[in-house]
Chain A
């Protein structure tokens, strides 16, 4: 770590920097949400923004998710680029209609682009219980017109959030709260963006492909390390964006390794693994030497008590075991 000491920032700091720099760069960027101003956000992601940019640009709202999303959409119609924060991403479903029927359909139906970002902390592993740990990304991956982003590193979090602010489409940006202060990563000093819709190979390997994103990307890498000790070289792909999905990177890897394991923290039924399985069946059936396997959360709500939540969530051991089984094919 010594060679990079002092150049690294947390995931949370990356989010904060992205918002700060975008607001600094473009006065059309505003932030609205519950407790984002005076308090600086429940996770302190917007701390200092009010002081810097003022009341007109950092707006504390009532507890009204539909109003937050609706107003952000209205602002975007007049040329602003609002960032709407959901205090916990679980609460995004309170604005489900506004997002899926109003925001998402506007460009297709009446040629109205809505350049807005909807972001917030998601995911489990912090004992937040059934209403503060959700991974609701797939509701929105099933909604044409949205872009769904779910980064795993500070570098990507910052670069993708900046890209989302500059994108002309409504972007959902999921921030896995387990990562907020647990991981650090290096970011460049200069302005940069990370392209939306592009996955990345985090680790190269030849025996099987592990596809993951967000916190489970790190779990997958941990499992890959353990697998390597047994002579199994896993290639690990970080999806980064779930909609639009980067089919090319997935297909390229699986055509090489001929085996695919998908790991996600979302529940199993209707998770992105099913979609990836379908894509592989359609486009790489002949390349597969074994069945697509998946390691996911259970098909239950997120339970509260630590032993229950640990049982519910995927972990490196579960990924390791599944990968070993797959490697036998």
Chain B
């Protein structure tokens, strides 16, 4: 670890890692008291990744966590009570009991997109958020995480490739914790470094020690800056180890003892404490202060969560659709002149050139050949001239009746009520 951050930054990273671990420790207790409704997934030993990467984002940036990224949520500003209540399926939780774990988001304020259980889906979604942010002139960066196992999904590749073709301001953190449930990384991917996947998409990548929070943070910060500057998506492989099983039910007996012992000796919080003490950024009293602050906070947060009611059963039947403006007013936040993206300024010539591929041109005309036969209209009356213009305005007679009249190839003209 090198010393290059401000004192406050060093201490923030420490606080959030400790908070991350304490929140999860609290949930283990709740789990053992049967207060957690479903499964409980741990990021023990991987806190430096969640915290170090999310800490590199600005407030306006967007992130989408995976199941082991509670730390990233805390850094982004999610109160611990929300995490507790999600796991306890309470009515005051962000999803009001409709989903659990880290499956929640906040489009309006914190800019968090909820994950789903299917791995990789967030990669194209966060690519789209990044593209939309750029389109609106917001200068945002988006970030999501994926595991070594999740990097084998089709949508990982579709999403990352699309992000690369679009040069989307998007940073993907590949958390290589060596295990996908019970399957070791070598049985998932025949690569030494998963960061090599970036080469296939022509994008930049980094490999970082996922248990060194300063290295994680400084790497992520550089990647975020480069993405924001327009260099396109960046892949960071953070190497670490999943200390517990896939979830609470899994004792992970398939993990070799030596492997576990090695990584337990490289606990990211213990390593960081040693560094901070060595640099005189933290002492015993400072450590105790942090612990007390966190204990007090979590005691109150846990109590709030436990006292929250379960949702009323009939709530299950609500909320499938957005019912309109009274439900959600959807308005993009433009931070560039709209004139830039509206005609005539947005208009371009219909000719493209790609080096080595010559040039092409769209084939005009309402009767241009289309996929699968059917190139001629079978209607006796020719199409009006105006309709042949690209997407021209409706060419109906002013004040014409609005009833649609249709004919089908196989039958005579008929009247059709609209």
Interface string of A301-329 (1 = CB under 8 A from B): 00000000000000010000000000000
Decide yes or no: A73 and B418 within 8 Å by CB, A109-B95, A186-B405, A218-B411 being known contacts.
no
Q: Say yes or no for B240: interface residue by CB 8 A criterion.
A: no
Chain B residues in the interface with A (C-beta under 8 A): 94-95, 98-99, 103-105, 107, 113-114, 116-118, 121, 123-133, 135-136, 138, 142, 154-155, 158-159, 161-162, 165-166, 319-324, 327-328, 330-333, 338, 341-343, 346-350, 352, 360-364, 366, 368, 370-381, 383-384, 387, 389-398, 400-411, 413-414, 416-418
Residues on A with C-beta less than 8 A from B324 are 168
The answer to whether A225 touches B414 (Cβ under 8 A) is yes
Who on chain A is nearest to B104 by CB? A110
Chain B's closest residue to A222 (CB) is: B411
Closest to A218 in B: B408
The distance in angstroms between the C-alpha atoms of A54 and B347, with both chains bound, is 5
Complex contact B162–A62 (CB within 8 A): yes
Bound-complex Cα distance A182 to B408 (A): 6
If over half of A's interface residues share one DSSP class (helix, strand or loop), that class is named, otherwise mixed; here it is: mixed
Partner of B343, one of A52, A188, A200: A52
Q: Return 16 A-B CB contacts under 8 Å, by A number.
A: A19-B391, A20-B391, A48-B350, A64-B159, A66-B155, A67-B159, A68-B124, A68-B162, A97-B118, A102-B118, A145-B321, A168-B322, A183-B379, A188-B396, A189-B395, A200-B418
Closest Cβ of chain A to B227, distance in Å, is 15
- Bound-complex Cα distance A127 to B257 (A): 62
Q: Which of A39, A49, A110, A225 contacts B411 (CB 8 A)?
A: A225
A48 and B391 form a contact (CB under 8 A): yes
* Contact across chains for B400 and A7 when beta carbons are under 8 A apart: yes
Q: Would B343 and A80 count as touching, CB distance under 8 A?
A: no
Given contact pairs A7-B397, A97-B118, A153-B416, A79 touches B346 in the complex (Cβ within 8 A):
no
A8: B residues at CB distance < 8 A: 379, 381, 384, 405
Contact check: which of A17, A27, A108, A184 meets B341 at CB < 8 Å? A27
Cβ of A187 < 8 Å from any Cβ of B? Answer: yes
A56 at interface by CB-CB < 8 Å: yes
Chain A: which residue is nearest B319 at the CB level?
A108
Q: Are A67 and B158 in contact (CB under 8 A)?
A: yes
Please, how many angstroms separate the alpha-carbon atoms of A54 and B103 in the complex?
36
10 additional A-B pairs beyond A183-B379, A218-B406, beta carbons within 8 Å, are A9-B395, A16-B390, A20-B390, A38-B361, A57-B346, A59-B166, A79-B333, A168-B322, A186-B396, A203-B417
B169 to chain A, nearest CB (A): 12
Chain A residues 111-150 with CB under 8 Å of chain B are 111-113, 115, 121, 126-128, 132, 144-145, 147
Q: Are A74 and B347 in contact (CB under 8 A)?
A: no
Name the B residues within 8 Å of A121 (CB-CB): 371
Kindly list chain B residues whose C-beta atoms are within 8 Å of the C-beta of A260.
Answer: none
Residues in A whose Cβ lies below 8 Å from that of B397: 6-7, 189
**A156 near B418: Cβ-Cβ < 8 Å:** yes
Chain B residues with Cβ under 8 A from A113's Cβ?
322, 327-328, 330
